[in-house]
């Protein structure tokens, strides 16, 4: 295979490939055989009501939870077989996973950067502090920052290793509208570079519509619906993504998809 | 194993200690208090009989070595607890960091704090009480190494227990050295113990170390065979403790415990 062909094949390969993923606890089914991909340059929204299986799915992709069945490939690397190699290509930010509050922003970024084996780490940290408007907090302990500032530090950590797969669990939940808008622009910019893809969860449907290229609706551990968030509502006879979400969330699974 | 990842775990602990030197105090304060207390006790005992000086060296040596073991064990657990206290397990285990790299980082942290404790104890014993451990000769080194290994093994085991049972089980871990000390025959010969306690003692490397130390103080030859048994036991226990930690971690990943490890008790 020529170099050009190999590069083209790598570019076409999804950054995340989830196949028939299942997780059950005894008789309780949390995720019920879902399959999806995230492509390069793509932002995929993972939507669903509380308990739909979103966080369970993200935890499995992060290697924090072992699937009962199915496979997860990150940038073509099988997570179950090559955990460290797969996770080196990935990173995440979540409101419920703040960085240690007793270390400064710079210290947290440094030791996490070393774990991810980031080259030219000092330069990378300085660039991220600048990019996320955190320079003035660089030597402040994370625990002293507001929740919005901590979210930005979490994002800086998530971008340290320039991951090909970025998982963002409600990344703008604690941010004011202006900062949230800036952040959406930043993340959209990362996706538009075309090197990596993003899996994004949010309960803010306006945000999802503005940012995501594609959405997956989860309920009771299954993907009920998949498509473009801008056209899906009309395709299903409702006026907005909010209305579609409510309809799907309240609809018993046995009734099938709308 | 990537040394840079191990160094990251170590660096994080260094940052914590540099930011809050009070974290270093427990590393040597209790050991220093014990040395002072037992230093005066042994000074008093030395006045009671001709055997006093020999007894003093034996007792103070035992106090120093036992404290060293305790510092090593708690050095590992405290470094692990830092991740529990800051609810950092999710951030940590969603990275490429391997368990072997993480545990190695915890152990190196413990060696650093243990070395500080040992230096303070040696300086106090020599400076305040004029006791030199040169009397033990080269035997002092294997004694220390065996206790170091036992402390490391017990620290890893204790961390695995807290990983499995939750943060509330931390209180089970702190008294472990005190609970083991009667069996380890730190201050008296093994033969004093009843049979069932001796049987348990023979599973504990410190019991061999302290028997060996008493033999040297009494002028008997270097107890090579005793120390070989102790070293083999200590190495086996470190490997078993590490395997147990890996087993508990895998179970936590399978059950989902690791992902939701922030509750006060996870049962």
Average pLDDT over residues A223-239: 90
Q: What is the pLDDT of residues B100-146, one digit of tens each?
A: 999 999 999 999 999 988 888 888 888 887 777 776 667 778 889 99
CB atoms within 10 A of CB A24: 14
Flag if B96 and A85 touch (Cβ within 8 Å).
Answer: yes
* Token reading at A130: 């600048």
CA distance linking residue A157 with residue B254, whole number of Å:
26
Flag if A65 and B93 touch (Cβ within 8 Å).
Answer: no
Looking at residue A160, its pLDDT comes to 96
Flag if B12 and A64 touch (Cβ within 8 Å).
Answer: no
Fold of A3-89+166-255: Rossmann fold (3.40.50)
- State residue B132 phi and psi, 5-degree precision: -110, 135
Q: Mean pLDDT in chain B?
A: 88
Q: How is residue A141 annotated by DSSP? A: B
Q: In the structure, what pLDDT confidence band is assigned to residue A2 with cuts at 50, 70 and 90? A: low
Q: Looking at the predicted structure, is the pLDDT value of residue B230 above 80?
A: yes
Flag if A64 and B93 touch (Cβ within 8 Å).
Answer: yes
Looking at residue B57, its pLDDT comes to 72
Residues of A in contact with B18 (CB under 8 A): none
Looking at residue A98, its pLDDT comes to 86
ipTM given for this complex: 0.89
* Distance (Å) of CA B229 to CA A28, A124, B59, B61, B121: 50, 51, 23, 21, 27
- B77's CB contacts (< 8 A; 6+ apart) are B155, B158, B159, B162, B173
CA distance linking residue A228 with residue A209, whole number of Å:
8
Q: In the structure, what pLDDT confidence band is assigned to residue B240 with cuts at 50, 70 and 90? A: very high
Q: What is the pLDDT of residues B182-223, one digit of tens each?
A: 999 998 999 999 999 999 999 999 999 999 888 887 788 878
Flag if B12 and A103 touch (Cβ within 8 Å).
Answer: yes
Comparison of pLDDT for A43 and B64, the residue scoring more: A43
Flag if B254 and A66 touch (Cβ within 8 Å).
Answer: yes
Q: Looking at the predicted structure, is the pLDDT value of residue A91 above 50?
A: yes
Cα A128 off chain centre by: 18
Residue holding tokens 């990251």?
B8
Smallest CA–CA distance from A106 into chain B, residue: B15
Identify the top-confidence range among A130-144, A182-196, B248-262.
A130-144
Average pLDDT over residues A88-104: 92
Residues of B in contact with A156 (CB under 8 A): none
Flag if B258 and A65 touch (Cβ within 8 Å).
Answer: yes
Long-range contacts of A227-232 (CB under 8 A, 24+ apart): A229/A45, A229/A205
Q: In the structure, what pLDDT confidence band is assigned to residue A3 with cuts at 50, 70 and 90? A: low
Flag if B15 and A107 touch (Cβ within 8 Å).
Answer: yes
Average pLDDT over residues A47-74: 94
Looking at residue A4, its pLDDT comes to 58
CA distance linking residue B104 with residue B6, whole number of Å:
6
The whole-angstrom distance between B211's CA and the closest CA on chain A is 43
Identify the top-confidence range among A35-44, A145-154, B19-28, B83-92.
A35-44
The whole-angstrom distance between A58's CA and the closest CA on chain B is 10
Looking at residue A9, its pLDDT comes to 66
Average the pLDDT over each of A182-196, B44-58, B88-102 and give the range with the smallest value: B44-58
Q: Cβ distance A15 to A197 under 8 Å?
A: yes
DSSP codes of every residue in B134-167: GGGGGGHHHHHHHHHHHHHHHHHHHHHHHHHH-G
pTM of the model: 0.91
Looking at residue B266, its pLDDT comes to 43
Residues of A in contact with B9 (CB under 8 A): 111
Looking at residue A257, its pLDDT comes to 47
Average pLDDT over residues B53-81: 87
% of chain B at pLDDT higher than 70 = 95
* Distance (Å) of CA A155 to CA A43, B82, B259: 16, 22, 19
CB crowding A154-180: b at 16 or more within 10 Å, else e: bbbbbbbbbbbbbbbbbbbbbbeeebb
Q: In the structure, what pLDDT confidence band is assigned to residue A258 with cuts at 50, 70 and 90? A: very low
Q: In the structure, what pLDDT confidence band is assigned to residue A23 with cuts at 50, 70 and 90? A: very high
Q: In the structure, what pLDDT confidence band is assigned to residue A155 with cuts at 50, 70 and 90? A: very high
Looking at residue B263, its pLDDT comes to 41
Residues of A in contact with B91 (CB under 8 A): 97, 99, 112, 157
Interface of B with A (CB under 8 A): 2, 4-5, 7-9, 11-12, 15-16, 19-20, 82, 86-88, 90-91, 93-98, 250, 253-256, 258-259, 262
């Amino acid at each position: 295979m020529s170099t050009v062909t190999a590069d083209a094949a790598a570019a076409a390969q999804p950054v995340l490939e989830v196949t028939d993923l299942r997780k059950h606890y005894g008789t309780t089914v949390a995720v019920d055989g879902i399959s999806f991909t995230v492509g390069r340059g793509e932002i995929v929204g993972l939507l669903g009501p509380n308990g739909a299986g979103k966080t369970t799915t993200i935890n499995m992709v992060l290697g924090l939870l072992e699937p009962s069945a199915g496979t997860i490939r990150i940038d073509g690397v099988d997570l179950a077989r090559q955990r460290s190699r797969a996770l080196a290509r990935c990173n995440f930010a979540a409101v419920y996973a703040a960085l240690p509050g007793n270390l400064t922003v710079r210290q947290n970024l440094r030791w996490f950067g070393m774990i991810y084996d980031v080259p030219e780490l000092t330069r990378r940290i300085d660039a991220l502090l600048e990019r996320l408007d955190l320079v003035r907090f660089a030597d402040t302990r994370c625990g002293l920052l507001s929740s919005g500032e901590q979210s930005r530090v979490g994002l800086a950590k998530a971008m340290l290793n320039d991951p090909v797969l970025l998982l963002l669990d409600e990344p703008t939940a604690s941010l004011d509208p202006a900062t949230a808008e800036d952040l959406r622009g930043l993340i959209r910019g990362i996706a538009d570079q075309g090197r990596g893809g993003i899996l994004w969860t949010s309960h803010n449907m306006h945000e999802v519509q503005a940012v995501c290229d594609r959405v997956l609706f989860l309920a009771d551990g299954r993907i009920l619906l998949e498509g473009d968030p801008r056209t899906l509502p009309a395709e299903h006879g409702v006026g907005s993504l909010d209305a579609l979400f409510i309809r799907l969330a309240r609809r018993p699974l046995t009734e099938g998809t709308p | 194993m990537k040394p840079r990842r191990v160094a990251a775990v170590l660096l994080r602990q260094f940052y914590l200690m540099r930011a809050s030197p009070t974290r270093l105090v427990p590393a040597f304060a209790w050991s220093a208090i014990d040395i002072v207390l037992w230093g005066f006790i042994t000074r008093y005992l030395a006045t009671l009989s001709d055997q006093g000086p020999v007894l003093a060296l034996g007792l103070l040596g035992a106090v120093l070595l036992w404290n060293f073991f305790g510092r090593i064990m708690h050095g590992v657990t405290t470094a692990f607890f830092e991740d529990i206290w800051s609810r950092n397990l999710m951030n940590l285990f969603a990275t490429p960091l391997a368990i072997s790299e993480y545990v190695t980082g915890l152990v190196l942290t413990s060696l650093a704090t243990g070395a500080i404790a040992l230096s303070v104890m040696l300086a106090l014993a020599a400076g305040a009480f004029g006791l030199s451990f040169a009397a033990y000769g080269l035997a002092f080194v294997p004694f220390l190494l065996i206790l170091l290994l036992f402390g490391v093994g017990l620290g890893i085991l204790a961390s695995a227990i807290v990983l499995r049972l939750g943060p509330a089980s931390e209180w089970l871990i702190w008294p472990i050295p005190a609970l083991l000390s009667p069996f380890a025959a730190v201050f008296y010969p093994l033969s004093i113990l009843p049979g069932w306690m001796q049987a348990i003692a023979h599973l504990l490397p410190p019991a061999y170390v302290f028997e060996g130390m008493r033999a040297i103080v009494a002028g008997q030859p270097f107890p090579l065979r005793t120390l070989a048994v102790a070293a083999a036991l200590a190495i086996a226990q470190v490997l078993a403790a590490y395997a147990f930690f890996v087993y508990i971690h895998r179970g936590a990943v399978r059950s989902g415990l690791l992902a939701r490890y922030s509750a006060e008790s996870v049962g």
